[in-house]
Amino acid sequence: MNSYDFSDKIAVITGGANGIGAAVAQRLVASGAKVAVWDMDIAAPDARLSGLSQDSIIYVRTDVSSLDSVLQAQEATEAALGRVDVLINSAGIAGPTAKLAEYPPEQWRRVQAVNVDGTFHTCRTVVPGMIVRNYGRIVNIASIAGKEGNPNASAYSSSKAAVIAMTKSLGKELAGHDIAVNCITPATAKTRILDQVSQEFIDYMLSKIPRGRFVTVEEIANLVLWMASAENSFTTGAVFDLSGGRATY
């Protein structure tokens, strides 16, 4: 297990109550960070978070699709913890599986609102403070779907492609500061997001991974931890593959 010193860092993890975000939260707390989980569903966090000290983690109910909600979450986090050094954008939804010509417009808008607007809202909110302090690490959770596009998942694929482009753009904007902005493009992991799609689609996703299995949230957390660390002092605007060999570029 890789180990980094986050003992003086404050991290925000969107969607951190479950899945990938919870695995990252657990690792960050174990590495000394204080963590604020921004999530819509904070009533029943992942079991891996239940044993963490209340001095190390707080929960703020947040709808990342709403800029006002994100601004309120930042205010609550700064009141409790002082600042934001690290931002992990893990909140996301898959949306239904359907052909583009049959895709429900309201579901399309919802996917973009959470996955794209949510990432924009959180970055827009925390970046000014990072600039003032000349320090920050931002890790956006994109998807291999954003590189390759998955059939019957045009909304999700498009939203993750936008997250990749946003990462590259913001990384360049902030390159003159000690602020790193990067993203990962994982293959499918077994998280609650799979509850939103059909078994046929899940089987298709597995068939595309040369390693023949889904990525684990622990494997994702391993990579994210380095990207969020002070040691990642040069790489920015980059896209890190975590697709089990699926990625072709």
Could you list the active site residues?
156
Give the number of other Cβ atoms within 10 Å of residue 19's Cβ.
Answer: 22
Residue that the structure tokens 């890789």 belong to: 2
> How many CB atoms within 10 Å of residue 1?
8
Q: Are 130 and 136 in contact (CB under 8 A)?
A: yes
Among left, alpha and beta (phi > 0; psi -120 to 50; other), residue 204 is alpha
Distance from CA of residue 146 to its chain's centroid? 14
- Residue 158 DSSP SS3: helix
- The answer to whether the CB of 191 falls within 8 A of the CB of 217 is yes
- CA–CA distance, 118 with 67 (Å, rounded to integer): 8
